Structure 1
């Protein structure tokens, strides 16, 4: 079974636009779990334009499924996750001013840095995942960083999928096969939605988890949160007879 982790950054963005506590981020996280989500993801940034550092501390108290915290490993971010000790930390290479994550790590160039960070997280029994593209060299070197998982950056797949689905998925199949052979767990995220998720899941062997925020929260404006989460779960977990 592939797990669905709901990224609730957009809920925090909406809350922050008006001030106060509407919508209630903590209640939304609880409701996502109640509606079937198997994880909650947040990505706090230094400017706290959506998820605030205090949100991470408060969410840790209530999340009963997998709690996944994404971010660039600044010293303040590492201090936060060591204090919070989420189930998983996903390391992303984007700078603080980036609008969203848009590329994977160069795991050769940044190998020493990643090994240092991941070793610290491992010592604290926090599972790590690192954001990567489908470059096979980056996956090979990811295996040398002591990370337990990688997370595929699926932006290029989502962009190409409407016109050339087989070409879009091909590099991910090859990269996933290599990751499986290297003993790396596979997560995925970025621009996955109800149009492209089923095809991705059907073709990627060993896909453990997807993290979805923007598309899922946008769909929930039309369908409601419960129906949306159930729809995404159905796209992820289906009989192979349905493929």
Structure 2
């Protein structure tokens, strides 16, 4: 069974755009779990343009399922994770000015740095996952680092699937097979959606968790729009 962890960054983006506390990020996290979501993911960035560092602290007592904090392990991020102690930390090599994550780690070039990071989080009983592209060299590198899981960066799959090319999943299958052989748990995320999630999940052996944010929140807005418009119309009659 693959767990669904919902990334709530977009809820924070919407809140921050207007100021105040609407929508209420903490209430949304509670509701997602009440609706059956099996985890909450956040990805704070240095400029706090969506998730604020205080949000990460406040969510600690709210998340009763699995709490996953993603980000580039600079000193501020490391200190935050060690303070909050989530279930899982996912290390992502995003640049400070990146709109969204756009590449996985080179686990060979950055082996020493990532090994140090993984050991630090393990000492604090925080499960570590490394964001990687679906290449065998990077999977082997993640195992050598001592990571407990990998998160497969799925943008390339989603793009190819949208073009009708289902063979775009093949590198992910090969990566998953190797990861299973190496004892690495497998997560996945980026551009997974209602359109492609079932095919991906059924194709990937041993897929433990998917982290979905942008598509899920966008789909929720659209699928709920008719209901809310009609609720307003009823109030105005």
Whether TM exceeds 0.5 here: the answer is yes
Pairing 1:49–2:18 present = no
1:146 and 1:224 map into 2 onto residues whose CA distance is 43
Residue of structure 1 in register with 2:126 after alignment? 126
Residues 184-223 of structure 1: pairs in structure 2 closer than 5 A: 184-223=184-223
Deviations 1:17-54 (A, max 9, x none): 01110000000000000001000000000000000000
Q: d(CA) in 1 for partners of 2:147 and 2:162?
A: 32
Mapped to 1, the partners of 2:165 and 2:32 lie a distance apart of: 30
Encode CA deviations 1:144-197: one digit per residue, 9 max, x unaligned.
Answer: 111100000000000001234332111111111000000000000000001110
- 1:159-174, aligned counterparts within 5 Å? 159-174=159-174
Q: Which has the larger radius of gyration?
A: 2
Q: Residue 62 of structure 1: CA displacement?
A: 0.9
The answer for the alignment partner of 1:89 in structure 2 is 89
Question: TM-score by structure 1 length?
Answer: 0.91
* Moved segments of 4+, more than 6 Å: none
Alignment of 1:132-171 (within 5 A): 132-171=132-171
Q: Provide Cα deviations, 1:73-111, integer angstroms capped at 9, x if missing partner.
A: 000000000000000000001111111001100000000
User: What's the CA shift for 1:134?
Assistant: 1.0
Cα distance in 2 between the residues matched to 1:197 and 1:172: 13
**Using the alignment, how far apart are the partners of 1:9 and 1:68 within structure 2?**
12
Distance in 2 between residues matched to 1:149 and 1:119, nearest whole Å:
13
Deviation, structure 1 residue 222: 1.9
Aligned to 1:37: 37
Kindly provide the CA deviation profile for residues 106-136 of structure 1, in whole angstroms up to 9, marking residues without a partner as x: 0000000000011000000000000000111
- The separation in 2 between residues aligned to 1:35 and 1:219, in whole angstroms, is 15
Q: Which residue is equivalent to 1:236? A: none
Higher relative contact order (CA 8 A, sep 6+): 1
Structure 1: distance between partners of 2:135 and 2:3: 24
RMSD, aligned CA: 1.2
Distance in 2, matches of 1:194 and 1:48, equals 28
Q: Could you state the TM-score of these two structures normalised by the residue count of structure 2?
A: 0.93
Call closer, same or farther: CA 1:222–1:166 in 2, change over 3 Å.
closer
Partner SS for 2:144: coil
1:63-82 counterparts in 2 under 5 A?
63-82=63-82
Give the match's secondary structure for 1:120. Answer: helix
- Aligned residue for 2:101? 101
Count of residue pairs the alignment pairs up: 226
